[in-house]
């Protein structure tokens, strides 16, 4: 190697192999290595391995609102104002400004970024969608794997109108991914490193939201098909007002179901009205708003632990926004 600097941005390289470092110091090697990155170097006639540890100050973002508690604040002291691009991936443009966002959900854990993306043609929004689950290395953007998805929500849904629950259909914790691989599909458990499906959660078809916490998976499932399956656009533009006017939470009962996060074994179910985006949990209970009040279920048995007093709400809960329930020091 010539010179004393390596031509890489900080924390980008997963594997660095060098027989002779030349004038490059070891501090420069560790600078370019990503957390958990490996340097395989020949020193004094022997090959030696150095692994860069992951800083404890880096946090994961496992759910739509950070974690199962619903508080969208990371426990991360490394993050700060952006100073440069770490990496740039494709596609560079979404499919259309006036229709639904091309990215439905994004989460990150264990050095991976995992997201749901419409990779359909950018030539015309009228062409079919091609929804794909994608995993990338969080530090350098290398695509680790892609998995085609089944039917998703209509990509002709108007811009800035949700549907908000789509972002709650993807969770990653440790080396596992929990996702619905289609809008009416059950919850699938994938190997986060390879994308291989490990199993589906039994009786989880109709899942609208997923949270994972403390070794358990909690699924909010509807007994009916996705209620927006019949949506078709009326106009080239202007459907935002129609969404605000014509589409709202139907207030039918759903089922909150609990599963073991590793084996997938179901432990209990609870039937109730559950307002969108309100399913949360902590070490004691699972919480949700039933349209009138906050309720808590014992996370071990599913029995009602308590219910609160009547809480205010809009007359109708639309799909372009949603209520928010946060658990802190419960």
| pLDDT band, residue 322 (cuts 50/70/90) | confident
- Whether omega for the bond prior to residue 91 falls within 30 degrees of 0, making it cis, is yes
**Res 288: pLDDT:** 97
Closest CA to 61 of 212, 250, 264: 212
Asked if pLDDT for residue 238 goes beyond 70, the answer is no
User: What's the confidence (pLDDT) of residue 98?
Assistant: 87
Both 122 and 20 in one domain: the answer is no
Q: 76 lies in a domain?
A: no
Do 180 and 289 fall within a single domain?
Answer: yes
Q: How many residues does the chain have?
A: 330
> Does residue 328 carry a pLDDT above 70?
yes
CB 106 within 8 A of CB 87: no
Between the alpha carbon of residue 15 and those of residues 47, 135, 193, the distances in Å are 14, 19, 16
Number of structural domains found in the chain: 2
pLDDT band at 237 (very low <50, low <70, confident <90, very high): low
Domain shared by 118 and 267, yes or no: yes
pLDDT beyond 90 at 36: yes
Please tell me whether residues 36 and 110 are part of one structural domain: no
Residue 97 lies in a domain: no
CATH of the domain at 220: 2.40.128.630
Give me the sign of the Cα torsion angle 216, 220, 221, 225.
negative
Count CB neighbours of 35 within 10 A. 15
Percent of the chain with pLDDT strictly greater than 70: 98
pLDDT value at 254 more than 70: yes
Tell me, rounded to whole angstroms, the distance of Cα 293 from its chain centroid.
27
Residues 17, 159 within the same domain: no
What was the pLDDT predicted at 166? 96
Are both 219 and 146 inside the same structural domain?
A: yes
Residues 251 and 185 in one domain: yes
Residue 330 has pLDDT above 80, yes or no: no
CA-nearest of 135, 28, 128, 138 to 78 is 138
Mean pLDDT of 101-108: 96
Taking the mean position of all CA atoms in its chain, how far away is CA 5? Answer: 36
* Maximum average pLDDT range among 93-102, 153-162, 274-283: 274-283
The answer as to whether 46 is a domain residue is yes
Task: Say yes or no: 157 and 20 in one domain.
Answer: no
| Summary mean pLDDT of the chain | 94
Range of the domain at 36: 13-51
194 or 330: whose pLDDT is higher? 194
Kindly tell me the burial class for residue 130, based on how many C-beta atoms sit within 10 Å of its own C-beta (0-12, 13-18, 19 or more).
middle
The yes-or-no verdict on residue 17 having pLDDT over 70 is yes
| Phi-psi domain of 36 (left: phi exceeds 0; alpha: psi -120 through 50; beta: other) | left
**What's the pLDDT tens digit per position in 163-188?**
999 999 999 999 999 999 999 999 99
Residue 89 maps to a domain? no
Q: What is the pTM of this model?
A: 0.94
pLDDT of residue 110: 96
Q: What is the pLDDT of residues 41-57, one digit of tens each?
A: 998 899 999 999 999 99
Closest CA to 117 of 143, 87, 98, 140: 143
pLDDT, mean of residues 50-65: 96
Q: What is the reported pLDDT for 160?
A: 85
Residues 219-241 have a mean pLDDT of 85
DSSP string, 293-317: EEEEEETTT--EEEEEEE----SS-
Decide if 84 is inside a domain.
Answer: no
Range 11-15 average pLDDT:
97
Does a structural domain hold residue 286? yes
Whether residue 125 is found in the same domain as residue 243: yes
142 and 252 belong to one structural domain: yes
- Same domain membership, residue 276 and residue 179: yes
What percent of the chain clears pLDDT 90, i.e. is strictly above it? 80
d(CA 126, CA 99): 10
Q: Are residue 107 and residue 47 in the same domain, yes or no?
A: no
Q: Is residue 171 part of a domain?
A: yes
Residue 64 domain-assigned? no
C-alpha 150/C-alpha 169 separation (Å) is: 14
Lookup: tokens for 65: 């609102």
């Amino acid at each position: 190697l010539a010179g004393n600097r390596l031509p890489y941005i900080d924390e980008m390289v997963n594997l660095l192999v060098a027989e002779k470092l030349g004038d490059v110091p070891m501090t420069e090697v560790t600078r370019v290595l990503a957390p958990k990155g490996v340097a395989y170097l020949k020193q004094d006639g022997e090959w030696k391995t150095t692994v860069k540890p992951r800083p404890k100050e880096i946090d994961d973002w496992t759910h739509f609102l950070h974690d199962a508690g619903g508080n969208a604040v990371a426990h991360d002291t490394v993050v700060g104002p952006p100073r440069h691009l770490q990496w740039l991936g494709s596609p560079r443009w979404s499919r259309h400004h006036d229709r639904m966002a091309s990215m439905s959900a994004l989460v990150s854990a264990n050095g991976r970024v995992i997201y749901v993306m419409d990779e359909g043609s950018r030539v015309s929004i009228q062409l079919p969608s091609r929804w794909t689950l994608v995993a990338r290395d969080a530090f350098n953007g290398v695509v680790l794997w892609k998995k085609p998805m089944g039917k998703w929500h209509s990509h002709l849904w108007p811009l800035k109108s949700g549907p908000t629950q789509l972002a709650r259909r993807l969770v990653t914790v440790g080396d596992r991914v929990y996702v619905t691989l289609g809008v009416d599909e059950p919850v699938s458990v994938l190997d986060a490193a390879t994308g291989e499906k490990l199993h589906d959660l039994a009786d989880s078809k109709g899942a609208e939201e997923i949270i994972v916490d403390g070794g358990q998976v909690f699924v909010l499932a509807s007994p009916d098909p996705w209620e927006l399956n019949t949506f078709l656009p009326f106009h080239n533009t202007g459907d935002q007002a129609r969404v605000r006017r014509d589409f709202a939470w139907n207030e039918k009962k759903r089922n909150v179901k609990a599963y073991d996060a590793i084996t997938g074994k179901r432990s209990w179910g609870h039937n109730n009205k559950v307002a969108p985006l309100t399913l949360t949990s902590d070490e004691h209970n699972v919480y949700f708003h039933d349209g009138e009040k906050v309720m808590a279920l014992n996370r071990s048995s599913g029995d009602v632990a308590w219910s609160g007093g009547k809480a205010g709400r809009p007359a109708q809960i639309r799909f372009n926004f949603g209520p928010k329930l946060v658990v802190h020091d419960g």
